A and B are shown apart, each in its own frame.
Chain A
Amino acid sequence: MAKIICITCPKGCHLTVDEVTYEITGNNCPRGAVYGKNELTAPTRVITSTVAVSGGEICRCPVRTESPVPKGKMFDVMEAIHAVRIVSPVRIGDVVIENVCGTGVNVIATRNI
């Protein structure tokens, strides 16, 4: 039995996951069951950072991965983000990097600049 904390929402339910059957108790909602299984089999995280932007009123544009990426690729994704330079105007949701590090996930802007 693995004891983990669901980080899907701020409730932070204390989950108990069976390592063989992936049966889960302690979750307050179905999303917890999905998280519990993923966390033991293929953990993922959303990455947020900033990229350099020129021509706007501020010089860093916040970005995030559109959906979670494999936890093991966090630092590769960061490196790809560091390499990017963009130019204003940028709108929320604009794709800054397509399919980052082959994860199938886009990196998008999260502020209008």
Chain B
Amino acid sequence: MREVIVIGGGPAGLAAAISARDNGATDVLVIERDTCVGGILNQCIHNGFGLHRFKEELSGPEYASRFAENLDNIEVLTDTMVLEVTADRIVRAVSRDHGYMELQAKAIVLAMGCRERTRGAISIPGDRPAGVYTAGAAQRYLNIEGYMVGKNAVILGSGDIGLIMARRMTLEGAKVHACVELMPYSGGLTRNIVQCLNDFDIPLYLSHTITDIRGKNRVEGVTIAKVGPDRKPIAGTEFDIECDTVLLSVGLIPENELTRGAGIPIDRRTNGAYVYENMETLCEGIFACGNVVHVHDLVDYVSAESERAGKAAAIYASGNKASGRVIEVEAGNGVSYTVPQKIRPENCDKKVDMFFRVRNVYQNVRLVVRDGDRVVASFNREHCAPGEMEHIVVPVALMGNAEKLTVSVEEVK
């Protein structure tokens, strides 16, 4: 019987494992399918990680190493794929060195991260030539294997990975002709629009999409059209760009096959498990953190959230179950989801960290937490956008005996 098993050795898994150990778990195992730990950070060689946490601008691999070098007394199995997790906390895994393994854990932390949405998932019409990649796959080729995927690129979607790749490919000598975004606002961080597109005069076409990809063997060009408020292409607005590469940066999907297999309820809005204040899923003793719960734009938040999950797993493994009444958290006007979705006030230290995304771009608004009509807490924001995750800290004392809290965006009167 293992005390805590962590599935996934990305930043979420590593922070959870370290925190479980630091909170008294003596037997912690991390299982990672790749050859080394660090997860997606290994290919994110750009800087901008750790500004909150270390007050330094680190690259992804540097940030990962701060955790990877602090794994004393934690066992790590790399090159090992977890095949199944059960609700009674059995982990089934396979590796070349150890073959098939069945491990019983007292507590489990799910930290499998997410994967990219592909062309199939968004069904772009046109030919099926070579040269269409997800931005993350292109990033891996370029930054780890050392292959450039093309010379003339168009990027569909303005997610952070696409923006970062626009700059990377430009610096490596490619021409990035355009970044095309379906929505009227960007899906990425504003700072990435500035330093990845504006710095290199790469045009950003908002409310546009690719309506056709042409090419026999290799991509030869794309057709781009403006879209209306219904996000459907407007006839007559089409124009062509010649290119040999199309990068897709159209969103990430939490990797929850194992979670579903264990019968753990999934929130349709986040595509991740429903979680309580301590990152416990609705299946007792199984916790989740990082991109597998909801897609984060900042790894600093991933680390903080994962430390809470690791600590809670260690507490659970020592025989202390979380209990008490449950407050439901609802996403109100202008808010697309919240994490956590449920709060057990008796199980909180004074305050609860809440994360969510807004549905639209707003200026000078208040983020308000209400119990019915009563305002529990309110936070002013000069600027919020869907691409930038919101974080608020709500004191438990103010929640009173609320049964339900609603988080919404309200105008400042």
User: Which A residues contact B (CB, under 8 angstroms)?
Assistant: 4-10, 12, 14, 26, 45-50, 52, 57-60, 62, 64, 71, 74-75, 78, 92, 110-112
Count of A-B residue pairs with CB < 8 Å:
82
The reply to whether A5 and B191 form a contact with Cβ atoms under 8 Å apart is: yes
Indicate whether A50 sits within 8 Å of B47 (C-beta atoms), given known contacts A45-B195, A111-B65: no
The reply to whether B61 and A110 form a contact with Cβ atoms under 8 Å apart is: yes
The reply to whether A62 and B59 form a contact with Cβ atoms under 8 Å apart is: yes
Chain A nearest CB from B30 CB (Å) reads 18
CA distance A10 to B146 in the complex (A): 28
The interface size of chain B toward A, counting residues with CB under 8 Å, comes to 34
CA distance A92 to B172 in the complex (A): 22
User: B328 within 8 Å of A by Cβ?
Assistant: no
Question: Which chain B residue shows the least CB distance to A6?
Answer: B191
The reply to whether B388 and A50 form a contact with Cβ atoms under 8 Å apart is: no
The reply to whether B51 and A49 form a contact with Cβ atoms under 8 Å apart is: no
Question: Which chain A residue shows the least CB distance to B383?
Answer: A14
Within 8 Å CB of A48, what residues of B?
A: 45-47, 59
Within 8 Å CB of B143, what residues of A?
A: 50, 60, 62
CA distance A92 to B66 in the complex (A): 11
User: B255 within 8 Å of A by Cβ?
Assistant: no
User: B48 within 8 Å of A by Cβ?
Assistant: yes
From A14, A26, A78, A111, give the contact of B171 (CB < 8 A). Answer: A78
Jot down 21 A-B pairs with beta carbons below 8 A, ordered by A: A7-B191, A7-B194, A9-B191, A10-B297, A12-B190, A12-B388, A26-B382, A49-B45, A49-B172, A57-B35, A58-B144, A58-B145, A60-B145, A62-B45, A62-B59, A75-B171, A78-B171, A78-B172, A92-B62, A110-B59, A111-B65
Within 8 Å CB of A8, what residues of B?
A: 51
The reply to whether B191 and A10 form a contact with Cβ atoms under 8 Å apart is: yes
User: B298 within 8 Å of A by Cβ?
Assistant: yes
From B47, B51, B146, B193, give the contact of A46 (CB < 8 A). Answer: B47
Highest count of chain A CB atoms <10 Å: which of B45, B144, B297, B383: B45
